[in-house]
Amino acid sequence: MTDRTAKLTIEDKDFELPIFSPTAGPDVVDIRKLYAQAGVFTYDPGFTSTASCDSTITFIDGDKGELLHRGYPIDQLAASSHYLEVCYLLLYGELPSAAQLEDFESRVTKHTMLHEQMVYFFRGFRRDAHPMAIMTGVVGAMSAFYHDSTDISDPWQREVASIRLVAKMPTIAAWAYKYSIGQPLVYPRNDMDYASNFLRMCFSVPAEEYEVNPILSRAMDRIFTLHADHEQNASTSTVRLASSSGANPFACIAAGIACLWGPAHGGANQACLEMLREIGTPDRIPEFIARAKDKSDPFRLMGFGHRVYKNFDPRAKVMKQSADEVLDLLGVEDNPILQVAKELEEAALADPYFTDKKLFPNVDFYSGIILEAMGFPTSMFTPIFAVSRTVGWISQWKEMIEDPAMKIGRPRQLYKGATMRDYVDIEKR
Protein backbone atom coordinates (compact mmCIF):
# COMPACT_ATOMS: atom_id res chain seq x y z
CA MET A 1 0.00 0.00 0.00
CA THR A 2 0.98 3.64 0.00
CA ASP A 3 0.99 6.51 2.47
CA ARG A 4 1.38 9.22 -0.15
CA THR A 5 -1.66 10.91 -1.63
CA ALA A 6 -2.54 13.44 -4.28
CA LYS A 7 -5.19 16.06 -3.60
CA LEU A 8 -7.84 16.75 -6.19
CA THR A 9 -10.03 19.77 -5.67
CA ILE A 10 -13.35 19.92 -7.51
CA GLU A 11 -15.04 23.24 -6.85
CA ASP A 12 -14.94 23.48 -3.03
CA LYS A 13 -14.40 19.79 -2.25
CA ASP A 14 -11.06 18.01 -1.77
CA PHE A 15 -10.45 14.36 -2.56
CA GLU A 16 -7.43 12.34 -1.47
CA LEU A 17 -6.11 9.95 -4.10
CA PRO A 18 -3.46 7.32 -3.22
CA ILE A 19 -0.13 7.51 -5.08
CA PHE A 20 1.68 4.27 -5.95
CA SER A 21 5.41 4.09 -6.59
CA PRO A 22 6.46 1.62 -9.25
CA THR A 23 9.87 -0.14 -9.23
CA ALA A 24 10.68 2.03 -12.28
CA GLY A 25 8.87 4.79 -14.15
CA PRO A 26 6.60 7.61 -13.01
CA ASP A 27 4.37 7.46 -9.92
CA VAL A 28 0.76 6.48 -10.49
CA VAL A 29 -2.26 8.22 -9.00
CA ASP A 30 -4.97 5.70 -8.11
CA ILE A 31 -8.33 7.03 -9.30
CA ARG A 32 -10.32 3.80 -8.98
CA LYS A 33 -12.63 5.19 -6.28
CA LEU A 34 -12.92 8.64 -7.83
CA TYR A 35 -16.33 8.15 -9.41
CA ALA A 36 -17.79 6.61 -6.25
CA GLN A 37 -16.41 9.45 -4.10
CA ALA A 38 -16.60 12.49 -6.38
CA GLY A 39 -19.09 11.48 -9.09
CA VAL A 40 -16.70 12.40 -11.93
CA PHE A 41 -14.84 10.42 -14.57
CA THR A 42 -11.34 11.11 -15.84
CA TYR A 43 -10.92 11.73 -19.57
CA ASP A 44 -7.95 10.24 -21.44
CA PRO A 45 -8.69 9.06 -25.00
CA GLY A 46 -5.67 7.18 -26.33
CA PHE A 47 -4.59 6.42 -22.74
CA THR A 48 -1.77 8.96 -22.90
CA SER A 49 -1.63 9.32 -19.10
CA THR A 50 -3.41 6.21 -17.91
CA ALA A 51 -1.94 2.98 -16.52
CA SER A 52 -4.48 0.29 -17.39
CA CYS A 53 -2.94 -2.45 -15.22
CA ASP A 54 0.04 -3.34 -13.07
CA SER A 55 2.62 -5.61 -14.62
CA THR A 56 6.04 -7.14 -13.94
CA ILE A 57 6.87 -8.15 -17.49
CA THR A 58 8.23 -5.28 -19.59
CA PHE A 59 9.40 -1.78 -18.78
CA ILE A 60 10.03 1.07 -21.22
CA ASP A 61 11.72 4.36 -20.40
CA GLY A 62 10.80 6.38 -23.46
CA ASP A 63 13.08 9.30 -22.63
CA LYS A 64 16.15 7.12 -22.18
CA GLY A 65 15.25 4.76 -25.05
CA GLU A 66 15.29 1.82 -22.66
CA LEU A 67 13.37 -1.44 -23.09
CA LEU A 68 13.66 -4.11 -20.39
CA HIS A 69 12.11 -7.57 -20.29
CA ARG A 70 11.91 -8.75 -16.67
CA GLY A 71 14.73 -6.24 -16.08
CA TYR A 72 17.04 -7.40 -18.89
CA PRO A 73 17.85 -4.79 -21.59
CA ILE A 74 16.69 -5.65 -25.11
CA ASP A 75 20.10 -5.00 -26.67
CA GLN A 76 21.69 -7.59 -24.35
CA LEU A 77 18.93 -10.08 -25.10
CA ALA A 78 19.24 -9.46 -28.86
CA ALA A 79 23.02 -9.91 -28.72
CA SER A 80 23.37 -12.83 -26.31
CA SER A 81 20.05 -14.63 -25.95
CA HIS A 82 17.66 -16.11 -28.49
CA TYR A 83 13.92 -16.02 -29.07
CA LEU A 84 12.82 -19.14 -27.19
CA GLU A 85 14.92 -18.19 -24.17
CA VAL A 86 13.27 -14.74 -24.23
CA CYS A 87 9.88 -16.47 -24.51
CA TYR A 88 10.68 -18.42 -21.35
CA LEU A 89 11.79 -15.24 -19.61
CA LEU A 90 8.59 -13.41 -20.55
CA LEU A 91 6.30 -16.31 -19.67
CA TYR A 92 7.89 -17.43 -16.40
CA GLY A 93 9.74 -14.35 -15.11
CA GLU A 94 13.35 -15.61 -14.94
CA LEU A 95 16.02 -16.75 -17.36
CA PRO A 96 15.89 -20.56 -17.55
CA SER A 97 18.55 -23.01 -16.41
CA ALA A 98 19.94 -25.23 -19.18
CA ALA A 99 17.56 -28.04 -18.16
CA GLN A 100 14.55 -25.72 -18.02
CA LEU A 101 15.36 -24.33 -21.45
CA GLU A 102 15.79 -27.78 -22.94
CA ASP A 103 12.44 -28.86 -21.53
CA PHE A 104 10.71 -25.68 -22.76
CA GLU A 105 12.18 -25.97 -26.26
CA SER A 106 11.14 -29.59 -26.44
CA ARG A 107 7.57 -28.73 -25.36
CA VAL A 108 7.32 -25.94 -27.95
CA THR A 109 8.78 -28.14 -30.68
CA LYS A 110 6.29 -30.93 -29.98
CA HIS A 111 3.33 -28.58 -30.46
CA THR A 112 4.27 -27.06 -33.83
CA MET A 113 1.89 -29.16 -35.93
CA LEU A 114 -1.68 -28.02 -36.57
CA HIS A 115 -4.71 -30.26 -36.37
CA GLU A 116 -4.95 -31.65 -39.90
CA GLN A 117 -8.57 -30.53 -40.28
CA MET A 118 -7.41 -26.94 -39.91
CA VAL A 119 -6.11 -27.15 -43.47
CA TYR A 120 -9.75 -26.74 -44.57
CA PHE A 121 -9.86 -23.37 -42.85
CA PHE A 122 -6.97 -22.17 -44.99
CA ARG A 123 -8.71 -23.50 -48.09
CA GLY A 124 -11.82 -21.49 -47.28
CA PHE A 125 -10.02 -18.19 -47.94
CA ARG A 126 -9.77 -16.50 -51.33
CA ARG A 127 -6.47 -17.41 -52.88
CA ASP A 128 -5.27 -13.80 -52.82
CA ALA A 129 -6.21 -13.22 -49.15
CA HIS A 130 -3.77 -11.18 -47.07
CA PRO A 131 -1.91 -13.55 -44.69
CA MET A 132 -3.02 -11.34 -41.74
CA ALA A 133 -6.67 -11.98 -42.66
CA ILE A 134 -5.98 -15.71 -42.72
CA MET A 135 -4.09 -15.60 -39.42
CA THR A 136 -6.86 -13.70 -37.64
CA GLY A 137 -9.40 -16.29 -38.77
CA VAL A 138 -7.29 -19.40 -38.20
CA VAL A 139 -6.07 -18.39 -34.74
CA GLY A 140 -9.66 -17.61 -33.70
CA ALA A 141 -10.66 -21.01 -35.09
CA MET A 142 -8.14 -22.76 -32.80
CA SER A 143 -10.75 -22.51 -30.05
CA ALA A 144 -12.87 -24.88 -32.14
CA PHE A 145 -10.04 -27.44 -32.24
CA TYR A 146 -8.26 -27.34 -28.91
CA HIS A 147 -11.10 -27.71 -26.41
CA ASP A 148 -8.70 -29.03 -23.78
CA SER A 149 -6.98 -25.64 -23.45
CA THR A 150 -9.83 -23.14 -23.38
CA ASP A 151 -10.81 -23.32 -19.70
CA ILE A 152 -9.02 -20.24 -18.37
CA SER A 153 -9.67 -21.17 -14.74
CA ASP A 154 -7.44 -24.25 -15.07
CA PRO A 155 -3.69 -23.41 -14.77
CA TRP A 156 -2.71 -26.55 -16.71
CA GLN A 157 -4.98 -25.60 -19.62
CA ARG A 158 -3.60 -22.06 -19.57
CA GLU A 159 -0.09 -23.49 -19.78
CA VAL A 160 -0.96 -25.79 -22.68
CA ALA A 161 -2.68 -22.93 -24.53
CA SER A 162 0.43 -20.75 -24.07
CA ILE A 163 2.77 -23.39 -25.45
CA ARG A 164 0.40 -24.19 -28.31
CA LEU A 165 0.16 -20.58 -29.38
CA VAL A 166 3.93 -19.93 -29.29
CA ALA A 167 4.55 -23.24 -31.10
CA LYS A 168 1.85 -23.11 -33.76
CA MET A 169 2.01 -19.45 -34.76
CA PRO A 170 4.99 -19.89 -37.14
CA THR A 171 3.18 -22.80 -38.80
CA ILE A 172 0.02 -20.71 -39.18
CA ALA A 173 1.92 -17.72 -40.60
CA ALA A 174 3.94 -19.88 -43.00
CA TRP A 175 0.82 -21.72 -44.17
CA ALA A 176 -1.06 -18.45 -44.64
CA TYR A 177 1.80 -17.38 -46.89
CA LYS A 178 2.03 -20.67 -48.78
CA TYR A 179 -1.72 -20.66 -49.31
CA SER A 180 -1.68 -17.07 -50.57
CA ILE A 181 0.95 -17.93 -53.22
CA GLY A 182 -0.62 -21.23 -54.23
CA GLN A 183 2.20 -23.48 -53.01
CA PRO A 184 1.80 -26.72 -51.02
CA LEU A 185 1.87 -26.33 -47.25
CA VAL A 186 5.16 -27.36 -45.67
CA TYR A 187 4.95 -29.25 -42.35
CA PRO A 188 7.14 -28.28 -39.39
CA ARG A 189 10.24 -30.28 -38.51
CA ASN A 190 11.16 -31.11 -34.93
CA ASP A 191 14.89 -31.25 -35.55
CA MET A 192 15.11 -27.57 -36.49
CA ASP A 193 15.29 -24.52 -34.28
CA TYR A 194 12.33 -22.12 -34.16
CA ALA A 195 13.58 -19.56 -36.70
CA SER A 196 15.07 -22.11 -39.15
CA ASN A 197 11.89 -24.14 -39.06
CA PHE A 198 9.87 -21.02 -39.89
CA LEU A 199 12.14 -20.07 -42.80
CA ARG A 200 11.94 -23.60 -44.17
CA MET A 201 8.13 -23.71 -43.89
CA CYS A 202 7.99 -20.44 -45.84
CA PHE A 203 10.54 -21.13 -48.55
CA SER A 204 10.81 -24.87 -49.09
CA VAL A 205 8.88 -26.51 -51.94
CA PRO A 206 8.48 -30.24 -52.62
CA ALA A 207 10.62 -29.93 -55.74
CA GLU A 208 13.48 -28.24 -53.90
CA GLU A 209 14.52 -28.39 -50.26
CA TYR A 210 15.39 -24.95 -48.82
CA GLU A 211 18.85 -24.81 -47.28
CA VAL A 212 18.61 -22.63 -44.20
CA ASN A 213 21.54 -20.25 -43.96
CA PRO A 214 22.49 -20.09 -40.24
CA ILE A 215 23.21 -16.36 -40.46
CA LEU A 216 19.75 -15.68 -41.92
CA SER A 217 18.22 -17.91 -39.29
CA ARG A 218 20.03 -15.89 -36.61
CA ALA A 219 18.73 -12.65 -38.19
CA MET A 220 15.19 -14.10 -38.23
CA ASP A 221 15.54 -15.09 -34.59
CA ARG A 222 16.70 -11.57 -33.74
CA ILE A 223 13.65 -10.08 -35.48
CA PHE A 224 11.45 -12.38 -33.39
CA THR A 225 13.33 -11.37 -30.23
CA LEU A 226 13.10 -7.63 -30.91
CA HIS A 227 9.32 -7.81 -31.34
CA ALA A 228 8.58 -10.24 -28.49
CA ASP A 229 6.83 -7.84 -26.12
CA HIS A 230 6.28 -4.13 -25.72
CA GLU A 231 4.23 -3.55 -22.57
CA GLN A 232 0.72 -2.14 -22.92
CA ASN A 233 0.68 -1.29 -26.66
CA ALA A 234 -2.57 -1.31 -28.65
CA SER A 235 -2.66 -5.02 -29.53
CA THR A 236 -1.60 -6.13 -26.04
CA SER A 237 -4.25 -3.89 -24.50
CA THR A 238 -6.73 -5.43 -26.94
CA VAL A 239 -5.75 -8.91 -25.76
CA ARG A 240 -6.10 -7.83 -22.12
CA LEU A 241 -9.47 -6.19 -22.74
CA ALA A 242 -10.79 -9.21 -24.65
CA SER A 243 -9.60 -11.60 -21.96
CA SER A 244 -11.05 -9.48 -19.15
CA SER A 245 -14.47 -10.83 -20.15
CA GLY A 246 -13.22 -14.40 -19.67
CA ALA A 247 -12.92 -15.11 -23.42
CA ASN A 248 -10.72 -18.09 -24.34
CA PRO A 249 -7.03 -17.47 -25.16
CA PHE A 250 -7.32 -18.24 -28.88
CA ALA A 251 -10.14 -15.70 -29.29
CA CYS A 252 -8.10 -13.11 -27.35
CA ILE A 253 -4.95 -13.61 -29.44
CA ALA A 254 -7.04 -13.40 -32.63
CA ALA A 255 -8.27 -10.00 -31.37
CA GLY A 256 -4.64 -8.97 -30.80
CA ILE A 257 -3.69 -10.00 -34.34
CA ALA A 258 -6.58 -7.96 -35.77
CA CYS A 259 -5.42 -4.88 -33.84
CA LEU A 260 -1.78 -5.36 -34.79
CA TRP A 261 -2.67 -5.25 -38.49
CA GLY A 262 -3.33 -1.48 -38.48
CA PRO A 263 -0.70 0.74 -40.14
CA ALA A 264 -0.18 2.83 -37.00
CA HIS A 265 0.90 -0.37 -35.20
CA GLY A 266 2.29 -3.63 -36.64
CA GLY A 267 1.13 -2.83 -40.17
CA ALA A 268 3.73 -0.04 -40.25
CA ASN A 269 6.48 -2.41 -41.40
CA GLN A 270 4.62 -3.20 -44.61
CA ALA A 271 3.57 0.44 -45.04
CA CYS A 272 7.15 1.59 -44.45
CA LEU A 273 8.69 -0.56 -47.14
CA GLU A 274 5.94 0.43 -49.56
CA MET A 275 6.72 4.07 -48.76
CA LEU A 276 10.46 3.57 -49.29
CA ARG A 277 9.74 1.91 -52.65
CA GLU A 278 7.43 4.76 -53.61
CA ILE A 279 10.14 7.30 -52.76
CA GLY A 280 12.46 5.18 -54.90
CA THR A 281 15.45 7.52 -55.16
CA PRO A 282 17.07 9.89 -52.65
CA ASP A 283 16.25 12.97 -54.76
CA ARG A 284 12.54 12.49 -53.94
CA ILE A 285 13.11 12.54 -50.16
CA PRO A 286 12.45 16.30 -49.73
CA GLU A 287 9.07 15.91 -51.43
CA PHE A 288 8.01 13.19 -48.96
CA ILE A 289 9.41 15.04 -45.95
CA ALA A 290 7.35 18.06 -47.03
CA ARG A 291 4.24 15.89 -47.34
CA ALA A 292 4.81 14.40 -43.85
CA LYS A 293 4.98 17.93 -42.41
CA ASP A 294 1.92 19.17 -44.27
CA LYS A 295 -1.08 19.06 -41.89
CA SER A 296 -3.53 18.99 -44.81
CA ASP A 297 -1.91 15.79 -46.16
CA PRO A 298 -2.71 12.58 -44.23
CA PHE A 299 0.68 11.13 -45.24
CA ARG A 300 3.05 10.28 -42.36
CA LEU A 301 6.58 8.98 -42.47
CA MET A 302 5.98 5.31 -41.77
CA GLY A 303 8.42 3.70 -39.36
CA PHE A 304 8.83 7.07 -37.67
CA GLY A 305 7.54 8.23 -34.30
CA HIS A 306 6.37 6.38 -31.24
CA ARG A 307 3.93 7.03 -28.43
CA VAL A 308 6.47 6.12 -25.76
CA TYR A 309 9.98 6.51 -27.22
CA LYS A 310 10.91 10.17 -27.31
CA ASN A 311 14.66 9.83 -27.86
CA PHE A 312 15.32 6.65 -29.80
CA ASP A 313 13.80 3.19 -30.15
CA PRO A 314 16.45 0.73 -28.89
CA ARG A 315 15.04 -1.94 -31.18
CA ALA A 316 15.61 0.26 -34.24
CA LYS A 317 19.32 0.54 -33.42
CA VAL A 318 19.77 -3.24 -33.42
CA MET A 319 17.57 -3.56 -36.51
CA LYS A 320 19.65 -1.05 -38.50
CA GLN A 321 22.81 -2.98 -37.64
CA SER A 322 21.12 -6.23 -38.62
CA ALA A 323 20.03 -4.76 -41.97
CA ASP A 324 23.66 -3.95 -42.82
CA GLU A 325 24.80 -7.44 -41.75
CA VAL A 326 22.10 -9.31 -43.68
CA LEU A 327 22.55 -7.34 -46.89
CA ASP A 328 26.29 -7.79 -46.59
CA LEU A 329 25.89 -11.52 -46.11
CA LEU A 330 23.59 -11.80 -49.09
CA GLY A 331 26.07 -9.82 -51.15
CA VAL A 332 23.46 -7.13 -51.81
CA GLU A 333 25.57 -4.09 -52.56
CA ASP A 334 24.14 -0.61 -52.92
CA ASN A 335 20.60 -1.66 -52.09
CA PRO A 336 18.59 1.34 -53.30
CA ILE A 337 15.87 0.95 -50.65
CA LEU A 338 18.43 0.82 -47.82
CA GLN A 339 20.07 3.89 -49.33
CA VAL A 340 16.73 5.73 -49.40
CA ALA A 341 16.03 4.63 -45.81
CA LYS A 342 19.37 5.87 -44.52
CA GLU A 343 19.13 9.20 -46.32
CA LEU A 344 15.52 9.65 -45.28
CA GLU A 345 16.47 9.02 -41.65
CA GLU A 346 19.31 11.52 -41.93
CA ALA A 347 17.11 14.16 -43.58
CA ALA A 348 14.33 13.76 -41.01
CA LEU A 349 16.72 13.89 -38.07
CA ALA A 350 18.14 17.15 -39.42
CA ASP A 351 14.68 18.69 -39.67
CA PRO A 352 13.31 20.58 -36.63
CA TYR A 353 9.76 19.34 -37.39
CA PHE A 354 10.84 15.80 -36.49
CA THR A 355 13.34 16.63 -33.75
CA ASP A 356 11.01 19.10 -32.00
CA LYS A 357 8.22 16.52 -31.98
CA LYS A 358 10.75 13.85 -30.89
CA LEU A 359 10.04 11.65 -33.90
CA PHE A 360 12.72 9.01 -34.50
CA PRO A 361 12.91 5.78 -36.52
CA ASN A 362 11.06 2.96 -34.78
CA VAL A 363 11.48 -0.81 -34.98
CA ASP A 364 9.56 -0.95 -38.25
CA PHE A 365 11.84 1.41 -40.15
CA TYR A 366 14.58 -1.13 -40.97
CA SER A 367 12.86 -4.49 -40.34
CA GLY A 368 11.19 -4.57 -43.77
CA ILE A 369 14.52 -4.14 -45.53
CA ILE A 370 15.87 -7.23 -43.78
CA LEU A 371 12.73 -9.26 -44.40
CA GLU A 372 12.65 -8.30 -48.07
CA ALA A 373 16.32 -9.26 -48.46
CA MET A 374 15.47 -12.66 -46.94
CA GLY A 375 12.85 -13.17 -49.65
CA PHE A 376 9.64 -12.24 -47.83
CA PRO A 377 6.97 -10.24 -49.69
CA THR A 378 5.68 -7.14 -47.87
CA SER A 379 2.40 -8.92 -47.03
CA MET A 380 4.37 -11.23 -44.70
CA PHE A 381 5.98 -8.47 -42.64
CA THR A 382 3.07 -7.97 -40.24
CA PRO A 383 2.40 -11.74 -39.88
CA ILE A 384 6.04 -12.11 -38.79
CA PHE A 385 5.47 -9.36 -36.21
CA ALA A 386 2.38 -11.31 -35.04
CA VAL A 387 4.41 -14.53 -34.68
CA SER A 388 6.98 -12.68 -32.55
CA ARG A 389 4.47 -10.77 -30.40
CA THR A 390 2.37 -13.85 -29.57
CA VAL A 391 4.55 -14.62 -26.57
CA GLY A 392 4.13 -11.06 -25.28
CA TRP A 393 0.35 -11.23 -25.67
CA ILE A 394 0.25 -14.61 -23.93
CA SER A 395 2.53 -13.53 -21.08
CA GLN A 396 0.37 -10.47 -20.44
CA TRP A 397 -2.79 -12.57 -20.70
CA LYS A 398 -1.43 -15.10 -18.18
CA GLU A 399 -0.38 -12.35 -15.80
CA MET A 400 -3.83 -10.84 -15.97
CA ILE A 401 -5.74 -14.10 -15.46
CA GLU A 402 -3.51 -15.02 -12.51
CA ASP A 403 -4.27 -11.70 -10.79
CA PRO A 404 -7.09 -12.27 -8.25
CA ALA A 405 -8.04 -8.58 -8.55
CA MET A 406 -8.79 -8.90 -12.29
CA LYS A 407 -11.93 -7.01 -13.35
CA ILE A 408 -13.69 -6.75 -16.68
CA GLY A 409 -12.32 -3.79 -18.64
CA ARG A 410 -15.10 -1.24 -18.97
CA PRO A 411 -14.04 2.33 -19.83
CA ARG A 412 -16.52 5.19 -19.39
CA GLN A 413 -17.08 8.10 -21.77
CA LEU A 414 -17.57 11.83 -22.13
CA TYR A 415 -21.02 11.72 -23.73
CA LYS A 416 -21.67 14.51 -26.23
CA GLY A 417 -24.77 13.17 -27.97
CA ALA A 418 -28.44 14.17 -27.75
CA THR A 419 -30.12 14.06 -24.37
CA MET A 420 -33.41 12.17 -24.01
CA ARG A 421 -36.04 13.06 -26.60
CA ASP A 422 -39.27 11.46 -27.81
CA TYR A 423 -39.42 9.17 -30.83
CA VAL A 424 -40.91 10.87 -33.93
CA ASP A 425 -43.04 8.86 -36.37
CA ILE A 426 -41.46 8.54 -39.83
CA GLU A 427 -44.15 10.59 -41.63
CA LYS A 428 -43.57 13.49 -39.23
CA ARG A 429 -39.77 13.76 -39.77
Gap between the Cα atoms of 397 and 241, Å rounded: 9
Choosing from 135, 202, 285, 292, the residue that interacts with ligand CMC (CB under 6 A) is: 292
Subset of residues 341 to 360 that bind ligand CMC, contact rule: CB under 6 A = 357, 359
Q: Which span sits near ligand CMC by CB under 6 A: 12-20, 140-148, 168-176, 260-268?
A: 260-268
* Min dist. Cβ of residue 256 to ligand CMC (A): 12
> Which of the stretches 160-168, 259-267, 319-327, 394-402 binds ligand CMC when contact is defined by CB under 6 A?
259-267
CB closest to ligand CMC, residue no:
305
Least CB distance to ligand CMC at residue 239 (A): 14
Closest contact distance (angstroms) between CB of 53 and ligand CMC is 18
Query: Could you tell me the smallest distance in angstroms from the CB atom of residue 353 to ligand CMC?
Result: 7
Residue 268 touches ligand CMC, criterion: CB under 6 A:
yes
**305 belongs to the binding site for ligand CMC (CB under 6 A):** yes
Nearest distance from C-beta of residue 308 to ligand CMC, angstroms: 8
Tell the smallest beta-carbon distance from residue 313 to ligand CMC (Å). 7
Q: Identify the residue among 6, 264, 290, 350 touching ligand CMC (CB under 6 A).
A: 264
Touching ligand CMC, residues 360-379 (CB under 6 A): 362-364
Q: Which pairs with CB-CB distance under 8 Å and at least 24 residues apart come from 273-277? A: 273/337, 273/368, 273/369, 273/372, 273/378, 273/381, 274/302, 274/378, 275/301, 275/302, 275/303, 276/337, 276/340, 276/341, 276/344, 276/368, 276/369, 277/337
Does 300 sit near ligand CMC (CB under 6 A)?
yes
Q: How many residues bind ligand CMC (CB under 6 A)?
A: 19
Active-site residue list? 306, 364
Question: Which residue in the set 89, 302, 318, 338 belongs to the binding site for ligand CMC (CB under 6 A)?
Answer: 302
Nearer to ligand CMC by Cβ, of 303 and 392: the residue is 303
* Contact call for residue 236 and ligand CMC (CB under 6 A): no
Q: Which is nearer to ligand CMC, 163 or 268 (CB)?
A: 268
CB of 306 to ligand CMC, least distance (A): 5
According to the binding rule CB under 6 A, does residue 306 interact with ligand CMC? yes
Among positions 150, 157, 233, 270, the unique one binding ligand CMC when judged by CB under 6 A: 233
- Looking at 194-202, 302-310, 317-325, 334-342, which segment touches ligand CMC (CB under 6 A)? 302-310
Residues that bind ligand CMC (CB under 6 A): 233, 264-266, 268, 292, 300-307, 357, 359, 362-364
